[in-house]
Structure 1
Amino acid sequence: MRYSRVPEDATLPAVVERDERETRLEDLRGREKAHSREGDAIAAERRRLPMVEVDASLELVGPQGTTTLLEAFDGRRQLLAYFAMWHTGSPASEQCPGCTWCMAHLGELSYLHSRDITVAVLAQGPYDEGRRYRDFMGWSVPWYSALPSLDRLLVGRARGMMHLVSYVRCRDRVFETYWTTRRGVEVLDSSYRLMDLTVWGRQERHEDSPDGWPQGWHNVDGEHVLCHDGRPIAQWARVESGCDDSLTG
């Protein structure tokens, strides 16, 4: 079996009557509501950040060859670009598990499109390899290589990191309005958010959990918590269904 099971004898919370549990839950609910309100306030401040202009003609490589940042908007007013890390020349199994985790959640985009937002991957590697990886994973998110313009697109930011950048278009001019990295890109993910609602959480060693909670997902000799048996977790279903994971022609 590719995926781990929580042991049957794993520690569980105390068992109480429903009324007692609901009282504790109501106390927690107050903190959750405060957390939501603070998130709303932060989002309101984010909308008020000043922006900087970016050269709209910066080159990308896409399915039709050389294109531009402006064309990546696909006619919409806003663009959310995920700058995927890339290990050029490496096989699919050695590509970034964190970026695979993020991009695997970019499925249904119509809700974003309805608000005039395009989502695209601007990979930090060659287009042909990245396109094969996208096809192997069965993704439909628009994919480009940002290699020709990385130094100007990621100004002042370390290349190779996970970056999510928000742009807005005003006719033929492009402006950067926000960017985030590391845990900030968890906004792309739903799996972790759902794990956080379960009794054992993410089952990772960094979490503040009671003694005895299963926390077997951690880094060992460089193995990422988003890998299993030497591959990013999302790849196993594709491999086992017979999909070709070769990234070189």
Structure 2
Amino acid sequence: MTTETTTASMARVGTREEWLAARLELLRAEKAFTQQSDELSRQRQALPWVRVEKVYDFDTDEGAATLADLFRGRSQLLLYHFMFGPDYEAGCPSCSTIADGFNGIAVHLANHDVTLAAVSRAPLPRLRAYKQRMGWTFPWASAARTDFNADFNVWFTEAQQRDGLVEYNYRREAAWRLKGAVGPVAEIAAMTGTDPATYTRERPGMSAFVRDGAVVYHTYSTYARGLDALWGMYQWLDRAPKGRNESGVWWRRHDEYGRR
């Protein structure tokens, strides 16, 4: 049996007329989803602004910077919380696949009064080296000297993890028992050169800020599956014939495909 036959046997094969009827039904659902998405965007933008009172000290390619400096003169700032802890040997491969899409987007956002940047706890020289390896040009700040990541719930201490005090994605997690862990978490942790416990003390997310003069306000944050829409490859796979079609961790950093 050929591959073509095997693949086709997994789908419902029909006529062009049947396809068109089904497509028009799906189109109605897609339009409803688009309208719901528009409403969700309106609700995001209607959230109250919270003034950021604390002063955060970041390290950037331009030198020491405050949160206001990360705006680069624009009024809006979108920060991606990139999982790259000081104990990592390389950035998280999942975050890396998301960040692969930033270069092409950042220039357009910059010309629409929005700065797109990443923040991680790894020291700046480590971020610079990894950024060069990946061929990225978007701004990437180190939060190594500040508690910014802890305040925005994307980094947790070993004690918080052990005692069930981790609050991520707006909920309290149970105590983690990761010693000897196997599966996707252990696999991805190994790809960063860490153990599962160390790896999962860092978390992904994105936060939005707005600047009014010298005052900075926090307007929005999302985590976990809330980042799906920013993970460009999945938006394409969701429209591919076989969908995400996943079994385990199949993705790699873009310079690692084909390696044995």
Structure 2 length-normalised TM = 0.74
Q: Does structure 1 conserve the Cα–Cα contact (< 8 Å) formed by 2:154 and 2:205? A: no
Q: Which residue of 1 aligns with 2:245?
A: 203
SS at match of 1:107: helix
Q: 1:82 to 1:238 in 2, by over 3 A?
A: farther
CA distance in 1, matches of 2:124, 2:84: 11
Tell me which of 198, 207, 213 is aligned to 1:171.
213
Residue 111 of structure 1 and its aligned partner are, at CA, apart by: 1.8
Equivalent positions of 1:10-21 (< 5 A) are 10=7, 11-21=9-19
Q: Which residue of 2 aligns with 1:145?
A: 142
Q: 1:77 to 1:173 in 2, by over 3 A?
A: same
Mean Cα deviation higher: 184-193 or 40-49: 184-193
CA distance in 1, matches of 2:80, 2:88: 20
Matching residue's letter, 1:193: Q
Q: Which residue of 2 aligns with 1:120?
A: 117
Equivalent positions of 1:19-168 (< 5 A) are 19-55=17-53, 57-92=55-90, 95-108=91-104, 109-149=106-146, 151-152=147-148, 154-155=150-151, 157-159=153-155, 160-168=202-210
Residue 180 of structure 1 and its aligned partner are, at CA, apart by: 0.4
Matching residue's letter, 1:178: Y
Matching residue's letter, 2:142: S
Residue 191 of structure 1 and its aligned partner are, at CA, apart by: 1.2
CA distance in 2, matches of 1:156, 1:134: 23
CA distance in 2, matches of 1:90, 1:45: 37
Q: 1:238 to 1:176 in 2, by over 3 A?
A: farther
Per-residue Cα deviation, 1:68-106 (whole angstroms, up to 9, x for no partner):
1111100000000011111434433xx311111111111
Q: Which residue of 2 aligns with 1:189?
A: 231
Q: Does structure 2 conserve the Cα–Cα contact (< 8 Å) formed by 1:56 and 1:173? A: no
Matching residue's letter, 1:59: D
Q: 1:239 to 1:74 in 2, by over 3 A?
A: farther
RMSD: 2.2
Per-residue Cα deviation, 1:11-35 (whole angstroms, up to 9, x for no partner):
4412211011100111111111111
Mean Cα deviation higher: 54-63 or 172-181: 54-63
Count of equivalent residues: 209
Q: Which residue of 1 aligns with 2:164?
A: none
Q: 1:156 to 1:137 in 2, by over 3 A?
A: closer
Q: Does structure 2 conserve the Cα–Cα contact (< 8 Å) formed by 1:61 and 1:127? A: yes
User: Gaps spanning 5+ residues in structure 2: where?
Assistant: 156-201
User: Gaps spanning 5+ residues in structure 1: where?
Assistant: 1-6, 205-216, 219-223, 227-231, 241-249
Q: Does structure 2 conserve the Cα–Cα contact (< 8 Å) formed by 1:99 and 1:162? A: yes
Structure 1 or 2: larger helix share? 2
- 1:234 matched to 2:234? The reply is no
Mean Cα deviation higher: 57-66 or 42-51: 57-66
Residue 58 of structure 1 and its aligned partner are, at CA, apart by: 1.4
CA distance in 1, matches of 2:222, 2:135: 26
Identity of aligned residues (%): 28
CA distance in 1, matches of 2:121, 2:250: 22
Q: 1:238 to 1:12 in 2, by over 3 A?
A: closer
CA distance in 1, matches of 2:55, 2:152: 20
CA distance in 2, matches of 1:139, 1:39: 30
